[in-house]
Chain A
Amino acid sequence: MRLQNQRQIYGETLLELGRKNKNIVVLEADLGKSTMTTLFEQEFPDRFFEMGIGEANMTSFAAGLSLTGKIAFTNSFAVFAAGRAFDQIRQGISIPGLNVKIIGSSAGLSDFGDGATHQSVEDIAIMRAIPNMTVLAPADGIETRKMIHKMVEYNGPVYLRLNRHDLPDIFPESQEFIIGKPYMIKDGKDIVVFSNGIMAAKALRAAEELEKEEISVRVVNVSSLKPVDEGEIRRFAHNMKGVITTEEHSVIGGLASVITFILSGFSMPFRHIAINDRFGQSAHSYDELLDEYGLNTKNIIDSVKLILHK
């Protein structure tokens, strides 16, 4: 499976779209080498605004740029893009529905070494709670590219959550992406696993392993956390023996909340694989940290078997 880096894809796609659309402007808070906005900066220095370490000002400044017809992208680590600038996003951007795209880079636990201060476990929850906000968390590089195209076509505020590391492709190049639509990546008839971000590939892997034991798992990627096509979610859960959600985010306010709310009338076992209301912490490797929080293929396999009493 090919590995691609969501940040790299983001930087390249932003540059590519910037060549076609001169209204795209990019704001950065001193992390351009990491968020990959340097690619845009090199080619379009006039449309690139280095705001320094000032996420609040960057975010409201972006609102001002959008008020003159620009499509403004703000960039920082997810924990700062969504957390530090929450009030600026809520008040000046989301209430009037301005065309600002907020990019939360190095999201979840993916900045493994830097510890709790730099790991966003609640960014999706706080962004989802804001009216008018669209919230996206892609599973691979292919989806990331398609999403950025759709974000530019869509006129309104969007929060995009990106992982720091190289992730395996789970979609074919021809995959469509429509904001709001969940996509089945593997069909099955026993258990449905709803996932997104880095957990989608792990869910797919778990389903493949379980297939060898004749357990049939359906895997659905819910990368659009708001809006979500509720009918599609219900359809994917219909006639299943159980539901699992898995995400690199707090169990509060993310995918677990989205799915259980939509499926509240369904009488079947649910299990949630997420960060259990804890902060992150430093580790020497990403995988070690994901294991500590149970965000791995084994936990998905065990959860499926637990529901099926196998």
Chain B
Amino acid sequence: MNKTIAELEKIARILRLDVIRMIGVGQKGHLGGSCSLSEIVTVLYFSRMKHDPDHPDWEERDRFILSKGHAALIQYAALAEAGYFPKEEIYSVKKLGAMLQGHPDMTTTPGIEGNTGSLGQGLSMACGMAAGLRLDGRKSKVYCIIGDGEIAEGQIWEAAMAASFYKLDNLIVFLDKNRLQAMGPVADRYNTNPLAGKWQAFGWHVAETDGHEIKEIIKILDQVDEIKNKPKLIIAHTVKGKGVSFAENVVAFHNGELTGEQFETACSELEK
């Protein structure tokens, strides 16, 4: 598991490329919010989490819940790359009867820990998992990713209060701050500021990182591991559509289609 930063950067690029391959031409796919997570997901699956693709139910594993379930493509790319299932499966994503559904489904996909997609619920699920693992005296950690658009859901703040009340220090949450949601900028819809202050007020330890710098992500995870008795939130500053030049910071690629030309451009950029 001790991969170099360069190796991890290469994996992050491969995952993005697989996201583009999954979307293909003329089909809708959540490109933007998947690509903003590539480095974070890479660090979790290929450097940080205890897990075993040959034994997805290994009891001592760390857990991962993608609360912003619409970014499933990046998780599928990571699971395939890690060996949870053959890579060919990614080409069947969203096909009738396929293992890879439009949103994460634990009943069909090895390595998926819970069903998400209805925004605002995954954080509560992650809290319950953290509480359950602690009850059993396990050292496993629970990692969760929420979106900056997702925090409009009131349930996020119910979970935020519960997590600090129950002192879930085995819970580490990334907030993917890519600043865009389906119909436009988050900031045009409601005021998330002060973002760190809100979570601190709810009793969380809050850290911030560049969500695309692998070295920084690893460093911040090391730091938050030292914090006891509090859940941890890492605000990850990211670029929606990162790595695909024409899609970066473009709302239309939240869940858009690629033309044949765009597909070729994206592949050639990521194959470099």
Closest to A55 in B: B158
Using Cβ atoms and an 8 Å threshold, which residues of chain A touch B133? 68
Using Cβ atoms and an 8 Å threshold, which residues of chain A touch B127? 57, 61, 64
Using Cβ atoms and an 8 Å threshold, which residues of chain B touch A56? 120-121, 124, 154-155, 158
Q: Are A96 and B106 in contact (CB under 8 A)?
A: yes
Q: Is B53 an interface residue (CB 8 A)?
A: no
Closest to A46 in B: B135
* Interface residue from B118, B158, B162 paired with A91 (Cβ < 8 Å): B118
Greatest chain A CB density within 10 A among B63, B65, B155 is at: B155
> Among the listed stretches B109-117, B204-212, B219-227, which one makes contact with chain A, having 4 or more residues with CB under 8 Å of it?
B109-117
Q: Is B132 an interface residue (CB 8 A)?
A: yes
Chain A: interface secondary structure? helix
Taken residue by residue from 50 to 61, chain A's Cβ proximity to chain B (1 for < 8 Å, 0 otherwise) reads as 011010110111
Q: Are B118 and A61 in contact (CB under 8 A)?
A: no
Taken residue by residue from 39 to 71, chain B's Cβ proximity to chain A (1 for < 8 Å, 0 otherwise) reads as 000000000000000000000000101000000
Q: Are B132 and A60 in contact (CB under 8 A)?
A: no
* Interface residue from A49, A91, A96, A97 paired with B131 (Cβ < 8 Å): A49
Using Cβ atoms and an 8 Å threshold, which residues of chain A touch B124? 56-57, 59-61, 63-64, 88
Q: Are B118 and A87 in contact (CB under 8 A)?
A: yes
Using Cβ atoms and an 8 Å threshold, which residues of chain A touch B107? 95-97
Using Cβ atoms and an 8 Å threshold, which residues of chain A touch B117? 91
Closest to B125 in A: A64
B165 to chain A, nearest CB (A): 8
Given contacts A54-B158, A56-B155, A60-B155, contact A65 B128 (CB under 8 A): yes
Q: Are A96 and B162 in contact (CB under 8 A)?
A: no
A27 to chain B, nearest CB (A): 9
| CA–CA, A95 and B115, complex, Å | 7
Determine the interface band of chain A, counting residues with CB < 8 A from chain B: 20 to 34
Q: Are A51 and B121 in contact (CB under 8 A)?
A: no
Given contacts A69-B132, A70-B132, contact A63 B125 (CB under 8 A): yes
Using Cβ atoms and an 8 Å threshold, which residues of chain A touch B116? 91-92
Q: Are A65 and B162 in contact (CB under 8 A)?
A: no
| CA–CA, A57 and B160, complex, Å | 10
Q: Is A79 an interface residue (CB 8 A)?
A: no
Q: Are B115 and A92 in contact (CB under 8 A)?
A: yes
Given contacts A56-B158, A61-B162, A88-B121, contact A68 B114 (CB under 8 A): no
* Interface residue from A57, A70, A96 paired with B115 (Cβ < 8 Å): A96
| CA–CA, A95 and B155, complex, Å | 19
Using Cβ atoms and an 8 Å threshold, which residues of chain A touch B239? none
Residues of chain A from 66 to 104 with CB closer than 8 A to chain B in the complex? 66-70, 72, 87-88, 90-92, 95-97
A82 to chain B, nearest CB (A): 16
* Interface residue from B63, B121, B166 paired with A92 (Cβ < 8 Å): B121
Q: Is A62 an interface residue (CB 8 A)?
A: yes
Q: Are B158 and A68 in contact (CB under 8 A)?
A: no
A44 to chain B, nearest CB (A): 11
| CA–CA, A92 and B115, complex, Å | 5
Given contacts A46-B135, A69-B132, A91-B118, contact A57 B155 (CB under 8 A): yes
| CA–CA, A57 and B125, complex, Å | 8
| CA–CA, A60 and B123, complex, Å | 8
B183 to chain A, nearest CB (A): 21
| CA–CA, A68 and B127, complex, Å | 11
Using Cβ atoms and an 8 Å threshold, which residues of chain A touch B130? 64
Q: Is B150 an interface residue (CB 8 A)?
A: no
A92 to chain B, nearest CB (A): 5
Q: Is B159 an interface residue (CB 8 A)?
A: yes
Q: Is A25 an interface residue (CB 8 A)?
A: yes
Closest to A87 in B: B118
| CA–CA, A47 and B132, complex, Å | 9
Using Cβ atoms and an 8 Å threshold, which residues of chain B touch A57? 124, 127, 155, 158-159, 162
In addition to A52-B161, A68-B136, A92-B114, 15 A-B residue pairs with Cβ atoms within 8 Å of each other are A56-B155, A56-B158, A57-B158, A60-B121, A60-B124, A60-B128, A61-B162, A63-B121, A64-B129, A67-B125, A68-B132, A68-B133, A92-B115, A92-B121, A96-B115
- Name B's A-contacting residues (CB within 8 A): 63, 65, 105-107, 113-118, 120-122, 124-133, 135-136, 154-155, 158-159, 161-162, 166
- Name A's B-contacting residues (CB within 8 A): 25, 46-47, 49, 51-52, 54, 56-57, 59-70, 72, 87-88, 90-92, 95-97
Q: List 21 A-B contacts (CB under 8 A).
A: A25-B135, A49-B131, A49-B166, A57-B162, A59-B124, A60-B128, A64-B65, A64-B126, A64-B130, A64-B131, A65-B128, A65-B131, A67-B114, A67-B129, A70-B132, A87-B121, A88-B124, A91-B118, A91-B121, A92-B118, A95-B115
